[in-house]
Structure 1
Amino acid sequence: MRRTYELINAGDIAGFGDLVADDFIEHQGAPGFPATKEGTLDFFRALLGAFPDMSMSVEDLVADGDKTVARVTVAGTHRGSFMGIPPTGASVDMQLIDIMRFDEAGRVCEHWGVADMLSLMQQLGVVPAGAPA
Structure 2
Amino acid sequence: MNVNELRKLNTHFFDEVFRRRNVDAIDELLSDDFVEHTPAPGQDTGKQGAKEFIGQALAAFPDMDVEIEHEIAEGDTVATVVRFTGTHQGEFAGVPATGRKVSVYFIDVTRYRDGLCTEHWGLPDIGNLMVQLGAAPGGPR
The separation in 2 between residues aligned to 1:23 and 1:92, in whole angstroms, is 33
**Please, what is the CA RMSD of the aligned residues?**
1.1
Q: Choose the corresponding residue for 2:122, options 113, 118, 127.
A: 113
1:83 correspondence with 2:93? yes
1:128 positional shift: 1.4
Higher helix proportion, which one?
A: 2
> How many pairs does the alignment contain?
129
Percentage of identical aligned residues: 38
Secondary structure at 1:33 match in 2: coil
1:16 positional shift: 3.3
The separation in 2 between residues aligned to 1:76 and 1:43, in whole angstroms, is 16
**Could you tell me whether the CA contact under 8 Å between 2:37 and 2:121 is conserved in 1?**
yes
1:31 positional shift: 1.2
What residue number does 2:11 align with? 2
**Could you tell me whether the CA contact under 8 Å between 2:26 and 2:47 is conserved in 1?**
no
Which sections of structure 1, spanning at least 5 residues, go unmatched?
none
Which sections of structure 2, spanning at least 5 residues, go unmatched?
1-9
Q: Report the TM-score, using the length of structure 2 for normalisation.
A: 0.88
The separation in 1 between residues aligned to 2:26 and 2:50, in whole angstroms, is 10
